[in-house]
């Protein structure tokens, strides 16, 4: 009998997107083909503590997994290259070695999607789903991403970069730069996802409050001109020969597609494929695949755009290298629209992880 693949599902994390990771991980665990994989579940708490978890998947979804002491063991990932294992320690100090073949880090945000986790996995030499350390770090930082894509002629929104040192020097110069950009603007932490810490700003008074909010999540802040247009997301899958599968259009029920609208209220709707011209889709496809390649991505990414005006001009918004896999997330829905089953998406991502490791 063919040996099953030991697939390590990592979830949680010391991130503002902790809850999103729990929901994404639960959906993956519900849909993964257990005939092909032996599942190893590794959870990371909000304060960064790692555990091997053998309990009920429902407790991950409900965020009670960390209270299930009977199924919880303190753990660490081996950073000895080639030792593909998690070491778990029980209450009496006994150590258990759990072998893993590949990691699917179903995690979002800081210490998860920003290259730090990927760097640790590279030290282990273990294959993992998603882009590598440098690519993940660059894509997570919206300012760095825009600077690179500008050099490739990708259209992006006008913006101003601000850090904590700029704020300490004084608000007036920042306000003048934003006035030149023109209100309304969006204020975003440069390294954050799921619209955490994002504000829409209509005047100078709101700008100050939005900056104070954003720097709670990151030292660097991006202030972008507001773009009027359809919000369209493109699912990209592959390694060197990555393909844009299809696109989905977000129809937000809020003033903008914020965290509550994504994950709490559940009132937004979507069109898959997006309601756009065929020529626009071909432009989006070519551009998304180019962005994936320029930023040296692997495995998967969701590339987000604005589609503006009657001529449907496209403007890059951001890229997500470990997009949400919750029951309402668009990436798996777009992949399924393109012919994959949910379990088939997981199979393909695991295959791509192995292929990427072989290609190093």
Instruction: Give residue limits of the domains in the chain.
Output: 5-128, 139-155+228-358, 159-225
Rounded distance, CA 173 to CA 165, Å?
12
The residue annotated as part of the active site, out of 55, 115, 132, 324, is 324
The residue annotated as part of the active site, out of 194, 301, 317, 329, is 194
What architecture is domain 5-128?
3-Layer(aba) Sandwich (3.40)
The residue annotated as part of the active site, out of 6, 135, 302, 342, is 302
The residue annotated as part of the active site, out of 141, 304, 340, 342, is 304
Q: Is 304 a catalytic residue?
A: yes
Looking at domain 139-155+228-358, its CATH class is alpha beta
Rounded distance, CA 87 to CA 314, Å?
48
Angle between helices 342-358 and 18-31 (to 10 degrees): 100
Digit-coded pLDDT (tens) for 187-230: 988 776 556 778 888 988 889 888 888 888 878 888 999 899 99
Q: Is 206 a catalytic residue?
A: no
Q: Is 324 a catalytic residue?
A: yes
The residue annotated as part of the active site, out of 13, 15, 17, 301, is 17
pTM for the predicted model, two decimal places: 0.89
Rounded distance, CA 345 to CA 352, Å?
11
Note the CATH number of domain 159-225: 3.30.1490.20
The residue annotated as part of the active site, out of 15, 191, 320, 329, is 320
Q: Of all residues in the chain, what percent are helix, strand and coil, respectively (each to 5)?
A: 35, 30, 35
Q: Is 318 a catalytic residue?
A: yes
The pLDDT of residue 194 is: 53
The residue annotated as part of the active site, out of 114, 318, 329, 342, is 318
**Which of 326, 325, 318, 322 has its CA nearest to residue 353?**
322
Dump strand ranges (E) for the chain. 5-12, 37-44, 50-53, 72-77, 85-89, 95-99, 102-105, 159-163, 185-189, 199-201, 220-225, 230-238, 243-251, 269-271, 299-308, 313-320
The pLDDT of residue 305 is: 97
Q: Is 170 a catalytic residue?
A: no
Digit-coded pLDDT (tens) for 292-349: 999 999 999 999 999 999 999 999 999 999 999 998 899 999 999 999 999 999 999 9
Q: Is 289 a catalytic residue?
A: no
The pLDDT of residue 208 is: 84
What are the Cα distances from residue 273, in Å, to 12, 164, 199, 234? Answer: 31, 41, 28, 10
> What is the b/e burial string over 70-93, where b = at least 16 CB atoms within 10 angstroms of the residue's CB?
eebbebebbeeeeebbbbbeeeee
Q: Is 63 a catalytic residue?
A: no
Q: Is 177 a catalytic residue?
A: no
The pLDDT of residue 199 is: 87
In which residue ranges of the chain is pLDDT below 50? 257-259, 263-265
């Amino acid at each position: 009998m063919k040996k099953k693949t030991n697939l390590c599902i990592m979830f949680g994390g010391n991130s503002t997107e902790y809850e999103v990771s729990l929901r994404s991980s639960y959906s993956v665990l519900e849909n993964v083909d257990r005939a092909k994989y032996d599942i190893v579940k590794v959870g990371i708490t909000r304060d960064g503590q790692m555990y091997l978890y053998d309990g009920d998947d429902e407790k991950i979804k409900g965020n009670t997994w960390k209270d299930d002491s009977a199924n919880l063991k303190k753990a660490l990932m081996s950073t000895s290259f080639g030792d593909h294992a998690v070491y778990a320690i029980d209450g009496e100090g006994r150590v258990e070695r759990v072998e893993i073949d590949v990691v699917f880090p179903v995690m979002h945000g800081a210490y998860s999607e920003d290259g730090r986790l990927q760097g640790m996995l590279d030290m282990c030499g273990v294959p993992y789903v998603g882009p590598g350390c440098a690519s993940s770090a660059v894509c997570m930082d919206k300012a760095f991403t825009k600077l690179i894509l500008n050099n490739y002629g990708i259209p992006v929104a006008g913006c101003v970069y601000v850090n904590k040192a700029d704020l300490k020097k004084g608000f007036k110069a920042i306000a003048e730069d934003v006035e030149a950009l023109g209100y309304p603007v969006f204020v975003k932490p440069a390294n954050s996802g799921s619209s955490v810490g994002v504000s829409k700003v209509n005047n100078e008074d709101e700008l100050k409050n939005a900056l104070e909010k954003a720097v709670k999540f990151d030292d660097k802040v991006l202030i972008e001109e507001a773009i009027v247009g359809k919000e369209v997301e493109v699912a990209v899958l592959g390694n060197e020969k990555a393909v844009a599968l299809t696109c989905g259009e977000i129809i937000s029920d809020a003033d903008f597609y914020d965290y509550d609208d994504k994950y709490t209220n559940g009132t937004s709707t979507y069109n898959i494929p997006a309601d756009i011209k065929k020529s626009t889709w071909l432009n989006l496809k070519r551009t998304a695949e180019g962005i994936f390649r320029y930023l040296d991505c692997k495995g998967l990414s969701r590339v987000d755009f604005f589609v503006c005006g009657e001529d449907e001009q496209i403007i890059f918004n951001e890229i997500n290298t470990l997009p949400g896999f919750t029951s309402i997330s668009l990436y798996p829905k777009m992949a399924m629209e393109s012919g994959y089953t949910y379990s088939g998406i997981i199979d393909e991502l695991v295959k791509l992880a192995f292929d990427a490791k072989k290609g190093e």
